[in-house]
Amino acid sequence: MIARKDKTFHTIKDFVDLDFNAHRTTSNAIQAKLDLGNGIEISVVAHKDKQPSFGGLYGDASNGTYEVAVFHNGDFVPLSPFDDVRGWQSKDDINDLMDKLQGNADKVGDCIDSFHLAKSEARSHLDLDSPHRN
């Protein structure tokens, strides 16, 4: 896929650009990290096959699902209102996310801001950041 910006062509990276290796801390698991530009790095992990009965990663590569995290300038980007990662994502889900996180810096910034805003609004709605909470 090619995106055009001011007569400059940028190649948009997608799932096929991820280079999976053995996960550094979890046995029978894989991980890939990829620099998407604009200070954005994506991390995709999964168990190679059958998920352990308790705990572990939120993905099973043998079933085509993966856990995804995104970092902006080294800090987690909250991919959902209540977690920094998204679990059980398909290759298409990951491609859609990667597309939103590449290209025009303003577009990418708006995307990152929308994730932070969703988390902030959810926490505020539940009164999770009030000083009176234990």
> Which tens digit of pLDDT belongs to each residue from 4-20?
445 456 689 999 999 99
Q: Is 26 left (phi over 0), alpha (psi -120 to 50) or beta?
A: beta
45 belongs to a structural domain: yes
Question: Tokens at residue 29, please?
Answer: 């698991």
Q: Whole-angstrom Cα distance, residue 42 to residue 39?
A: 10
| Each residue's pLDDT tens digit, 79-93 | 999 999 999 999 999
Q: How many domains does the chain have?
A: 1
The pTM of this model reads: 0.86
Q: In this structure, is residue 133 part of a structural domain?
A: no
Residue 132 lies in a domain: no
Residue 59 belongs to some domain of the structure: yes
82 lies in some domain: yes
Asked if residue 93 is part of any domain, the answer here is: yes
Q: Within a domain: residue 18? A: yes
Token pair for 8? 């400059």
CA 113 to CA 17: how far, in whole Å?
A: 25
In a domain? residue 95: yes
Residue 1 pLDDT class (50, 70, 90 cuts): very low
Average pLDDT over residues 35-52: 91
Is residue 110 within 8 A of residue 102, CB to CB? The reply is: no
- Per the structure, the complete domain to which residue 65 belongs is given by 2-125
